[in-house]
Chain A
Amino acid sequence: MSSEAQAVTIVMVEDDEGHARLIEKNIRRAGVNNVIIPFTDGTSALEYMLGGDGSGEASARRHLLVLLDLNLPDMTGVDILAKVKASRQTRRSPVVILTTTDDQREIQRCYDLGANVYITKPVNYESFANAIRQLGLFFSVMQIPETD
């Protein structure tokens, strides 16, 4: 793994701690060792990514990859997605939507807003683990631009 890839920080926004744990486990099993910063609500995740002032300056020197759940207690993941993609500093950061919703309209909306990958969490654990591991594999080859 290249040093650039190493520098990528994975931001995981997931209110279900069980899901967060399972995702993390499987990412690690795929051999991805990047730092994962978990958030269980939208407000604190946005604060981390865009800073207290919401300008995005906080992420100016960061390489971020966002794992986003759509059902959050304080806001929907779609709102977070829109804000991340609207900020000049974070808009190039890849966003992976990981959610239980496989509603076509929701998927379309996320892609329209600039989501890079949309994954439905299958109840079947083997498929779930497989999907996350492939995602990890995908991370390892993915070139993440430094935000300017």
Chain B
Amino acid sequence: MPISTATFIRSTLTLLGAGLLILIVVAGSSVWLAERTRENAADVQEAQSIRSRTSRLLTLLLDAETGQCGFLLTQDPRYLEPYEAARRQIRPDMERLKQLHQSDPDEGRALDEVSRAVLTKLGELDQTIALAQVGNLAAALDLAKTDRSRETMEAARKTLLDLLARTDVRLRGDIEDMTSGARYLSFATIAGGLLVFLVGAGSFLIVGRYTRDLVGARAEVQTLNETLEERVQERTTDLARANDEIQRFAYIVSHDLRAPLVNIMGFTSELETGVGTVSRFFDELQVDETSTSAWEAKVAVKDDMPEAIGFIRASSTRMDSLINAILRLSREGRRTLKPERVDFGELLDLLAANIQHQVSEAGGEIALMRPLPTLISDRLALEQIFGNLFDNAVKYRDRNRPLRIMIRAIESGRIVHFEIIDNGRGIAKEDHERIFELFRRSGVQDRPGEGIGLAHVRALARRLGGDIKVESELGVGTTFRVSLPRVLRQQTSEKAMEGVNS
């Protein structure tokens, strides 16, 4: 089933939106996780820094004690060098360590303890060294040999080792955090990538299907386009055939209707002659006026029969003119149009001249609004169209005012509209379509006519690729508007018809 454009747009947009959302989430979580990793790394660095300083502190303390022992044993001031170096280093290191632990109050307290223990030991070492330097070596040795000296050293070492152990724990935790953060980050990236891939694949499928549909539809349109001409040709041929059949039908019907009419008219005349003979015979014969049958016979011959014959004759004449009208229309439809240059200025001048006499007699005038265009069309058909309209204008003029006929051309692209405007008696609105029908007339039936003219005009105008319309107001006048193509194209239907005929 083909995807409708709306569905396609909706699903594609939904997928694109989902993809964008996933990308935002993945990017956000990546940034967050990276930030956390960075924090963890800083923590690790800090812990490592604490650890190294703590162990250095311990080393310094041990160095100081070693220096003290050496000095006490030898009294050689060279042994005091490591002691002095350690002593100089210990205080700033303690301060540095305190700074590193500022953020954590618990560790701060623990560090105070460390500091106290270290400073106590350092104070004791200072004391023994000071005693030894002033020569009181025995007192210094006593002091160094006491349990207290050992205990202070142990306390300091223990606090420092505790601190080291705690730092190690913290370091492990931090490293663990960092590892898991990195794991989360890669997991989120993989999951996001997978989702984006799925969304992408979905979009790809939909776009692919839609594109396939589009390609299919285009191919179909192309095929239709290619066969269009052919189908138009086929239908035109069918139409031409149907049209041709109607023409033939009208032609045959009118001819076959004519044959019996010849008989009706012929024998009516024979009958009339016969009745005339009998009538003359009655005139010569002295009939007995009192005889009813003789009187009736005389009435029949003198009045009834001539009357009947008169009606038969009138009806036959009417029938004949109707048949002739059909025949003329049929013939007009069969005539091959010959497109040629037709100068409307000349053509209308000629047609106006034909009715000039009648128009002048009625005190009227014809106005041709120049310039008039030149068309490529069938001259004979145009003469019939405009001649008919001119005749109508004269025939149905309003006798209460002088006739005025105006003709003008309005050009509009490939079409030219001719307006034949008169101030005649006009046509009632309900008859505007009817007047173009065969054998139909409108208004007061005081002029001779069969109701053929306008039907003929419309058939001709349409055959020339144009049309005719009427605008009219009863008692005011009528405007016939004939629209004609500037160039008459030999119609496809006619070409097709030639094909049918050959």
Contact = CB atoms under 8 A, between A and B. Distances in A.
Interface stretch (B37-45, B66-74, B259-267): B259-267
Chain A contact-residue range equals: 10 to 19
B233 interface: no
A1 to B, nearest CB: 25
Contacts of B265: 123-125, 128
Contacts, number: 53
Given A123-B316, A125-B269, A129-B269, A22 B263 contact: yes
B270 interface: yes
Contacts of A123: 258, 261-262, 265, 316-317, 320
Contacts of B267: 18, 22
A71 B263 CA distance: 15
Nearest to A16: B259
B268 interface: yes
A44 interface: no
Contacts of A124: 265, 317, 320
| From A25, A103, A126, residue with most partner B Cβ within 10 Å | A103
B262 A71 contact: no
Nearest to A122: B262
B255 interface: yes
A121 interface: yes
Contacts of A129: 266, 269
A122 B256 CA distance: 13
A72 B358 CA distance: 47
B259 A71 contact: yes
Nearest to B324: A123
B489 to A, nearest CB: 25
Chain B contact residues, majority secondary structure = helix
A109 interface: no
Interface string A107-147: 00000000000000111111011000000000000000000
A22 B255 contact: no
A71 B262 CA distance: 14
A128 B268 CA distance: 13
A101 B266 CA distance: 18
Contacts of A71: 255-256, 259
Given A71-B255, A100-B255, A126 B269 contact: yes
A67 to B, nearest CB: 15
A22 B262 CA distance: 9
B255 A18 contact: no
Interface in B249-306: 251, 255-256, 258-263, 265-270
B263 A18 contact: yes
A84 B304 CA distance: 49
A69 B16 CA distance: 87
A115 to B, nearest CB: 18
17 contacts: A16-B260, A18-B263, A18-B266, A19-B266, A25-B270, A71-B256, A71-B259, A100-B255, A100-B259, A101-B255, A121-B258, A123-B258, A123-B262, A125-B266, A125-B268, A128-B265, A129-B269
Give 4 closest A-B pairs by Cβ, nearest first: A18-B263, A125-B269, A123-B320, A22-B266
